[in-house]
Amino acid sequence: MTKFTQRVRVAFPDTDTSGRIHFTAMLRYFETAEIEFLRSLGFQYRDARDVVFPRVRVECEYRSAIGFDDEVDIRVAVKRVGSSSYTLEFEAFKEATLAANGSIVVVCVGRPGKAQALPEALRTALVQAASSDDKRADSRIG
Amino acid sequence: MTKFTQRVRVAFPDTDTSGRIHFTAMLRYFETAEIEFLRSLGFQYRDARDVVFPRVRVECEYRSAIGFDDEVDIRVAVKRVGSSSYTLEFEAFKEATLAANGSIVVVCVGRPGKAQALPEALRTALVQAASSDDKRADSRIG
Amino acid sequence: MTKFTQRVRVAFPDTDTSGRIHFTAMLRYFETAEIEFLRSLGFQYRDARDVVFPRVRVECEYRSAIGFDDEVDIRVAVKRVGSSSYTLEFEAFKEATLAANGSIVVVCVGRPGKAQALPEALRTALVQAASSDDKRADSRIG
Amino acid sequence: MTKFTQRVRVAFPDTDTSGRIHFTAMLRYFETAEIEFLRSLGFQYRDARDVVFPRVRVECEYRSAIGFDDEVDIRVAVKRVGSSSYTLEFEAFKEATLAANGSIVVVCVGRPGKAQALPEALRTALVQAASSDDKRADSRIG
């Protein structure tokens, strides 16, 4: 399976008064990694016409603290590709330490609000990413 | 001039690792107060058709610290009403202490991106609010 | 079981270019409801000394779209109370429609970063809330 | 004067239902650029001990629309260096178009909440940056 890694840097508004990131910040990092992962597959959400990609299920486990200015590596993998949805798995590392892991189920929805088939190019790219060898692609962000 | 006061409560993601609110949180509070102020005048952004209301100028001075769970009273006043824009002034109080004050210039823009006349009902309500006596309207939020 | 309901209003920065709320906004609403629920039980996070309450597990299913300015009722219930952690369940309704549901596991952590016993007053209140009859408490926010 | 440019990429939660970024997102981009600018000068906020750096004045003019996934170049310049504060100027470009410009006044505050002298290394670096020739330093982020 293709593994994709996106580096993000923790910003001030990602943290809260506890001195750590707010738990929702990690989910935004997952989404940033997802967008760059799909871009690496040749698909950009910005090019989607007449469809949106809402998340229908999100889960995340938080394992160790992340703080301001930390660099976090988000690994993305395709877990499942359906006809109108897909599931991505995420792991967040601070250096060698697993800080969080989770998954997000994304569904393709036409503007009137009904699930519909994934764009063919996206579906093909995801299936390929899910089945290919572990070629780690790295990228940097934030 | 009509003064409108909106109470907001500081949430965890509004704060950062400094132990205070992130400076952008105050501007979101201003916007919340603006929306409720306009609602009190009979105008709801949600009802706007074919126009959007981007901010073209924002300024804010921060005078004292605000922290998690604090209740902050945001006072709104109309400073200026133009043909396609308006300026609102804001003051944020934590109890009797002025925590911040600022102003926001909002312009009415048609979907193609050109400034256009304010909806007549909104303009009338703002002009009236700007000229009326100081009837303080209170509301609570967040 | 005590059911607690908190009303929140969707703000502009909670939405994104899809025209719906960003998925992380719902989790912030859950947290707002949690804070007000605990306050209704007599416990305020702001009063916690030497401990923080990180989330260690979050999950959410999104069932229908929520948009700008919608009023959303968040219902909170205690699912589990452990010695150093607790699990809360959330349901979000837009009028009679279930828009989302999920759960959050919160752990009590001393400043050095080790799980420790819940404050006794909090634990007692949660156990009582988990076992009491369904007395619905309502509150309004944002 | 040293000009520093930081590239940021617009994320979904930076946008709102208008289809553009929320106005507060631009101010977060300014802060990201500020942090990377100071890092390029050898100063990291994360290393600050016993002081915090609240913003005491912020202003921004918005000149053209920025949307999801746009790449925005934020240019930072030192406008003023005082004994306990400094002012930075920002310009945001989408390709050759000026999308926004503004300034932020930052003050150095000891934990008890009183303004105090800037750390000497930071002050020296800022003064040098303010007076040096226009050596453009580029960086990429997000």
Cα distance from C107 to chain D (closest Cα, Å)? 26
Beta bridge partners of B58: B104, D60
A69–D35: do the CB atoms touch at under 8 Å?
yes
The bridge status of strand C85-94 relative to strand C97-107 is antiparallel
Q: Which of residues 8-47 of A touch B (CB under 8 A)?
A: 12-13, 15-20, 22, 24
Cα distance from B72 to chain C (closest Cα, Å)? 12
> d(Cα B111, Cα B50) in Å, to the nearest integer?
6
Torsion-angle region of A29 (φ positive above 0: left; ψ -120 to 50: alpha; else: beta): alpha
- What would the mean pLDDT of A2-30 be, rounded to a whole number? 95
ipTM of the complex: 0.89
> d(Cα A129, Cα C74) in Å, to the nearest integer?
38
In this prediction, residue A135 carries a pLDDT of 46
Q: How confident is the model at residue B142 (pLDDT cuts 50, 70, 90)?
A: very low
Q: Which of A131-135, B24-28, C79-83, C114-118 has the highest mean pLDDT?
A: B24-28
What is the per-residue DSSP string for C62-119?
E-S---TT-EEEEEEEEEEE-SSEEEEEEEEEETTEEEEEEEEEEE-EETTS-B-PPP
Cα distance from B134 to chain D (closest Cα, Å)? 28
Q: Is B141 on the interface with D (CB under 8 A)?
A: no
Name which of C68, C141, C142 is nearest B46 (Cβ-Cβ): C68
Mutation target to probe the D interface, by most D beta carbons within 10 A, among B16, B34, B57 is B57
Dump pLDDT digits (tens) for C86-120. Answer: 999 999 999 999 999 999 999 998 876 777 888 78
Mutation target to probe the B interface, by most B beta carbons within 10 A, among D30, D31, D60, D108 is D60
Mutation target to probe the D interface, by most D beta carbons within 10 A, among A6, A12, A29, A40 is A12
Cα distance from D130 to chain A (closest Cα, Å)? 25
- Chains touching C, CB cut-off 8 Å, 3+ pairs: A, B, D
- What would the mean pLDDT of B47-73 be, rounded to a whole number? 94
Query: Which has the minimum average pLDDT: B22-31, B121-130, C2-11, D30-39?
Result: B121-130
**Geometric angle at alpha carbon D5, from D34 and B113, rounded to 5°:** 95
pLDDT at residue A27 is higher than 80: yes
- Chains touching A, CB cut-off 8 Å, 3+ pairs: B, C, D
Residue contacts between B and D (CB atoms, under 8 Å):
58
pLDDT at residue A138 is higher than 60: no
Dump pLDDT digits (tens) for A104-119. Answer: 999 998 876 777 888 7
Residue contacts between C and D (CB atoms, under 8 Å):
33
pLDDT at residue B113 is higher than 80: no
Dump pLDDT digits (tens) for A68-95. Answer: 999 999 999 999 998 899 999 999 999 9
Compare all CA atoms of chain C with the CA of B7 and give the residue at the minimum distance: C142
Name which of A31, A44, A142 is nearest D142 (Cβ-Cβ): A142
Residues in chain D, pLDDT under 50: 135-142
Torsion-angle region of C19 (φ positive above 0: left; ψ -120 to 50: alpha; else: beta): left
Report the SS3 class of residue B139: strand
Tens-of-pLDDT digits for all 142 residues of chain C?
Answer: 567 999 999 999 999 999 999 999 999 999 999 999 999 988 998 988 788 899 999 999 999 999 999 999 999 999 999 889 999 999 999 999 999 999 999 999 887 677 788 878 777 877 887 787 554 444 444 3
- B35 or B138: which leads in pLDDT: B35
Cα distance from B69 to chain A (closest Cα, Å)? 11
From residue D110, alpha-carbon distances to D56, D84, D127 in Å are 14, 11, 21
From residue D142, alpha-carbon distances to A72, A141, D25, D72 in Å are 13, 4, 13, 10
Determine how many CB atoms are found less than 10 A away from the CB of residue A25.
21
> d(Cα C28, Cα C32) in Å, to the nearest integer?
6
Name which of A18, A52, A56 is nearest C52 (Cβ-Cβ): A18
Least Cα distance to D115 among B65, B94, B17, B25 occurs for: B65
From residue C76, alpha-carbon distances to A6, A56, A58, C137 in Å are 35, 20, 19, 10
From residue C131, alpha-carbon distances to A13, C77, C78, C137 in Å are 38, 10, 9, 15
A59–C56: do the CB atoms touch at under 8 Å?
no
Compare all CA atoms of chain D with the CA of B103 and give the residue at the minimum distance: D59
In this prediction, residue B107 carries a pLDDT of 93
Secondary structure, 3-state, C24-74: HHHHHHHHHHHHHHHHHCCCCHHHCCCEECCEEEEEEEECCCCCCCCEEEE
> d(Cα D76, Cα D79) in Å, to the nearest integer?
9
Q: Which residues of A touch B16 (CB under 8 A)?
A: 12-13, 15-17, 68
D23–B55: do the CB atoms touch at under 8 Å?
yes
Q: Is D61 on the interface with B (CB under 8 A)?
A: yes
With both helix axes pointing from N to C terminus, report the angle between A120-131 and A23-40 in degrees, rounded to the nearest 10. 100
pTM to 2 decimal places: 0.90
